[in-house]
Structure 1
Amino acid sequence: MLVSCELCGTKYRVDPKRLHKDKVKARCSRCGHTFVVRRPEEPEPDDFDPSLMAEEETRPSEHEDEEQHDADAAIPVTRPAPQVLRPFTPRERSASKRGILFAVLTIVLLAVAAATYYLYSKGLILQEKDKVEPSAVTSTGMPQVTIDPDIRAYFLENMSAGQIFVVEGKAVNESGGPVSFVLVEGKLYTTEKQPAQIQKAYCGNIMSREELMRLDMTQIQNVMMNREGKDLSNVHIPSMGKVPFMIVFYNLPELSLLSDYSVEVTNALAEK
């Protein structure tokens, strides 16, 4: 006859003749669960003696070891196939393509920024602007603050928002005096060179990768919009001084539609 483990469903073939009682305890050799095996009902023989049954019921469990041996020696017929569970990640199939795309974009942007910085340092660009505005103040009256070409960008998985895109860098105060409250703006562009997403952040607000993955986006947004920066790092930045920034993009569009990103300074306050 066939019996099944109640816990894991493993089936065993057991010889009813080896069962010495109407029901015995058996242990599953696969999961260790103990279950009851009942002897199939059979018609009583003509010479059935009720006194023998009573004696059998009141006799101590002298067959306990043998019953355990019967269960352990049972031959498994079928076992459920083990299943390996893994979390579903909708973007997993194109993760490698996204990584390659943004790695190439980052390298290109860094190369362009490095070339621009080199040309500027050699006086080959912005010469006319420097002559017109020797005080390093833009036409809008904002002090001259630029983006250092050493920029990093990477993806992270946030616990509440899913995938986020982080851009890190430094702003450089190229004006003649101290400045405060430097605000930067990052943009993601589509393959058609149109802005797909815009995000602003004040300089001086840097978060660890653990915080970026753990905090919800409201908390991250509040950190980015701290005007003075962490420990007042965005206040009284000296001439040629640098202050770090971090821009976090979330609710990302389909990455196959994106081709580039940029960062620029949109506001700064000159101190008198």
Structure 2
Amino acid sequence: MLVICEDCAKKYSIDEQRIKAPKVKFKCRACNHIIIVEKPKKSKDTPSEDLSTSLLVAEQGTAEHKIKEKGEQRRAKRTSLPPPADPSPSVRAALRHSAAAAGKGMPFFVYLLAIMLVGLLSISTIFVHFYLKTIPDVLQHQLELRSQALTESLKGTIASPLSRKDYLTVNQEVKRISKLSGVAYVAVRNKQGVVLAGFFGNLNRFDNHFAQKNKEKGFQTDFLTKNTITPGTEEAGVKLRVGGLSVYDQVMALPAPGGELHVGLYVDELEKHFLKALFSPLTLALLLLFVLSAYILFVLLDKLITEPMRSLTNVANRISLGELDLAIMAAGPREIRELGAALERMRHSIKVAMERLSR
């Protein structure tokens, strides 16, 4: 009697005379498959030997072909995934949502770049706010201190010549102070408002009309009347617009025989000096270092987070297509490694479940 294993198609020759029970079980030596053999029943009608032989050969060939096909099918089931069943409505909805969500949304580096830009914008806003709120007060204070120092110094120098009516000495001192850096003009007026001495530091810096008028008619006093000493005070300071330039005018009362001393300082010149100090090469170097550090931080974060996430996404896609033997080795920060370990456990569980279903 010929018996063929259904799994591996290995053939066994069994003596029918040794089969005592109606059914006999034994294990295949090649694949350990359990083979059940039924004892053949004797037929009452015994056909001729040739016919029975031919039928037996035909039946054995057909049975052997079927058993081989079954064995190949079983082996194919073990090495491939089973055909997917029709998904439930909830599963189909989840698949549609996953397909719709794939490829949407902004990449991580866009969010990272937006965060860095917001940080730079915030720092710039703070800097501008500091400049607008603090720098004008600092400049104003510096103008007041310098103008007061100049007027006090000049007042002490010309007090004695004025009392002696030595106007030559007064003019020499006024002219000397007018040549100092940042000084727009210096003027000395008596009680009647007549200019005893008046000089511009650099008349060419003012607009042409104002400069030409002063050259033709002498030192003009119209703008001096915009800053006067109020009763009970000894000095006053105010910003004026003189000949197209912004000037801080400091006025101080003179002792006997009386009068006023005016000293004007260029406002824009002090602002230029301050901006030059503020945006010095050292400041620009620090700003460049900050931008370079931000760029390096951007590249490092993109490399530490984006690349491991892309790798995990690629592996997850391959596993979803049936590569269940593909191990997941995550790298990067702790959170991404934990995500990779969770995906690896899920892959192992799916693989075990598929092996059980294929048996």
Could you say which TM-score interval applies, normalised by the shorter chain? under 0.3
Name the one with the larger helix percent: 2
Structure 2-normalised TM-score? 0.22
Name the one with the larger strand percent: 1
Point out which structure has higher relative CO (alpha carbons under 8 A, 6+ apart): 1
Give the structure with higher Rg (CA).
2
Structure 1-normalised TM-score? 0.26
